[in-house]
Amino acid sequence: MNTLDRAPIGRGIARTGLILSVLFGLIAVGAGYWQVVRASELSRAADNPLVIAAARDVVRGTIVDRSGAILASNRYDANGEPYRVYADRSLAPLIGYASPVYGTAGLERADNAELTGLGSNNSLEDLLYKLAPQRRQGADLTLSLSLKLQEAAVKALGAYRGAVVMLDPRTGRVLAMASTPVFDASAIANPITAQAAFARTSAAAGQPFLNRATMGRYVPGSVFKIVTSIAALGSGAINASTSYPQQPAAEQTGLLVSGFRIHDGHHDFTGSQVLDYDQAIEVSCNIYFALTGLRTGGAALADWADRLGFGAPIPFDLPTATSQVTNGGGSFGGGFSDDVELANAAYGQAETLVTPLQMALVAASVANGGVLMKPELVTGISGPAGNQTIGPAALGTVMTPAVAGTIGNAMELAVESDWGRIFTTGAAIPGILTAGKTGTAEIGGSAEPNSWFIGYAPADNPEVAIAVIVEQGGHGSAQAAPIAGSLMSLWLKTLNP
């Protein structure tokens, strides 16, 4: 073909070049996004084989308690490879393990990035590390935990399954977080014994790997009455002198709510008396709180519970299960299905499920005059990047100091008054005013109920708040209250006088 009738192709070529440069710009942005913006977050995927492999070249940071006692440290095998050892089995559900074979769990997992130094945001410092001849050293963690208190809490729970959460209501700092049964985390971390220990723990009864304090969801029973109190008093639905004329009769015959009869079986001797708020807490009157729940309304109850941390995972160093007042499926206010569910939830039955940490926060918010502090376990991180102190931080003001005062006063009576001593045996600390509330959560069937206690001490100037759950421990006063009393006493009188 001799006569080439040629199209002007220059423009097409230039546009192609433009399209190609836009495409390469896109992938450059993509690479930058993953390598810079999301890098630190990606390095935190503690269960990923890549991260586990990368963490093998690192000496994990040590973990110490509030007084500097070592909780987790490293030993070296014959080849000079580091492996983890833990101070005590009572720490296992909380701190977890870091195993070369099974990855990480607990705090070792949650703070893997800090402990290995892989989550660093400081690229220049990272670069210097790569040039250094020795192994990379992760950051050390300081916990607010007291090892001695932690050991005592596990010992107090004994053979029972359950959990204890103790924290300082003024700062939200966790003093003890026990979950039983415990397991041998050191054996899982040791490469020689890892396989057998992991298999043994997985097969063991009672799910030892489960940290019941943060992940266990329990029916609260009467300890939930404090939540109902916060909603009712906070919203103004009741005040301290509110009483219900129909309450004594309902205790004899049951309270009729929408055709369903709510019974209150356990205090015949108050059945003839109209109770006010303080007395209702003292004797833990279900009828009083069912009526209070109905008067407060489902929407207000759910709303005030959410202020305390219900309805969403609690911001904490470890993953937390979500506490709920109801399944939320109903069309009634707040997600309740009807009046009956609301009335039952108001004294902690129905579909209400709580974590021990959540109930400790309920007690702590009352103790702290209505201000809810963010729960914290790690208070300090000291690594190559310097020392960092964490918190304390407030999550919000849940109620006015006046409402907190009213509830606190009733909780003090529940432990210290004549009636209270009958219902809350063992929680009182000799010489120190204590406030608290027991709970006996029916779990159905012929099983013993779960035994609950939440409270704080000293009642006039709180330094410790506590939640104790003993699975199938019977009435609240039978197991949980004495455990709480002894642990608060140990903390206030011996460990932190």
Minimum distance of other proteins from residue 94's CB (angstroms): 25
Nearest approach in angstroms of CB 44 to other proteins is 9
67, 75, 77, 123: which one binds other proteins (CB under 8 A): 123
Q: Which of 34, 31, 35, 98 is nearest to 63 (CA)?
A: 98
Candidate residues 64, 118, 178, 346; the one interacting with other proteins per rule CB under 8 A: 118
Out of 46, 49, 346, 482, the only residue in the binding site for other proteins (CB under 8 A) is: 49
Q: Closest distance between other proteins and the C-beta of residue 119, in Å? A: 10
Q: Least distance in Å: CB of 134 to other proteins?
A: 15
User: Is there binding between residue 101 and other proteins (CB under 8 A)?
Assistant: no
Q: Choose between 47 and 442: whose C-beta lies nearer to other proteins.
A: 47
Single out the residue of 64, 166, 149 nearest to residue 107, CA to CA.
64
Minimum CB distance to other proteins smaller for 31 or for 443: 31
Does position 81 bind other proteins by CB under 8 A? no
Closest distance between other proteins and the C-beta of residue 38, in Å? Answer: 6
Q: How many CB atoms lie within 10 A of CB 387?
A: 11
Which one of 78, 79, 127, 259 is in contact with other proteins (CB under 8 A)?
A: 127
Instruction: Mark 262-297 as b/e (b = at least 16 C-beta within 10 Å).
Output: bebeebeebbeeebbbbbbbbbbbbbbbbbbbbebb
Question: Which of 103, 92, 95 lies closest to 201 in space, CA to CA?
Answer: 92
Structure tokens at 399: 């109620």
Are 178 and 213 a contacting pair, CB within 8 Å? yes
**Strand pairing category for 140-143 and 63-64:** parallel
Closest contact distance (angstroms) between CB of 127 and other proteins is 4
How many residues of this chain interact with other proteins, rule: CB under 8 A?
A: 50
Residue 12 beta carbon to other proteins: minimum distance, rounded to whole angstroms: 4
85 binds other proteins (CB under 8 A): no
User: Is residue 396 a contact point for other proteins (CB under 8 A)?
Assistant: no
5: contact with other proteins by CB under 8 A? yes
Q: How far is residue 352's CA from residue 334's CA, in Å, rounded to a whole number?
A: 13
Closest alpha carbon to 359 in 424, 286, 242, 451: 451
Q: How far is the CB of 123 from other proteins (least distance, A)?
A: 4
The least CB distance from residue 19 to other proteins, in Å, is 8
- Cβ closer to other proteins: 56 or 75? 56
Which residue number, 22 or 203, has a Cβ lying nearer to other proteins?
Answer: 22
Torsion from C-alpha of 17, 23, 24, 27, nearest 10 degrees? 180
- Compare residues 123 and 258 and give the one whose CB is closer to other proteins: 123
CB 150 within 8 A of CB 88: yes
Residue 21, both tokens: 């440069």
> For 143, which DSSP code?
E
Name the residue type at position 446: S
**Among 38, 75, 263, 493, which residue interacts with other proteins (rule: CB under 8 A)?**
38
With contacts defined by CB under 8 A, name the span among 120-128, 180-188, 241-249, 282-290 that binds other proteins. Answer: 120-128
* 110 or 197: CB nearest other proteins: 110
C-alpha–C-alpha distance, residues 319 and 316, integer Å = 7
One-letter amino acid for residue 324 of the chain? Q
39 contributes a contact to other proteins by CB under 8 A: yes
Helix (H) or strand (E) holding 441: strand 435-441
The sign of the torsion formed by the CA atoms of 25, 30, 34, 37 equals positive
- Sites for other proteins among residues 13-32 (CB under 8 A): 13-17, 19-21, 23-24, 26-28, 30-32
DSSP letter string, 436-475: EEEEEE--STTSPPEEEEEEEESTTS--EEEEEEETT--S
Part in contact with other proteins (CB under 8 A); list of ranges 87-95, 116-124, 357-365, 470-478: 116-124
Cis geometry, peptide bond prior to residue 181 (ω within 30 degrees of 0): yes
Structure tokens at 38: 């999301």
Distance CA 474, CA 470 (A): 8
Tokens of 301: 């109850």
Window 142 to 181, contacts with other proteins (CB under 8 A): none
Selected range binding other proteins among 38-46, 87-95, 344-352, 401-409, rule: CB under 8 A: 38-46
Among 74, 85, 89, 126, binds other proteins (CB under 8 A): 126
Looking at beta carbons only, is 48 or 193 nearer to other proteins? Answer: 48
Please state, in angstroms and rounded to a whole number, the distance separating the CA atoms of residues 113 and 120: 7
By CB under 8 A, name the binding residues for other proteins: 1-10, 12-17, 19-21, 23-24, 26-28, 30-36, 38-43, 45, 48-51, 53-54, 118, 123-124, 126-127, 130
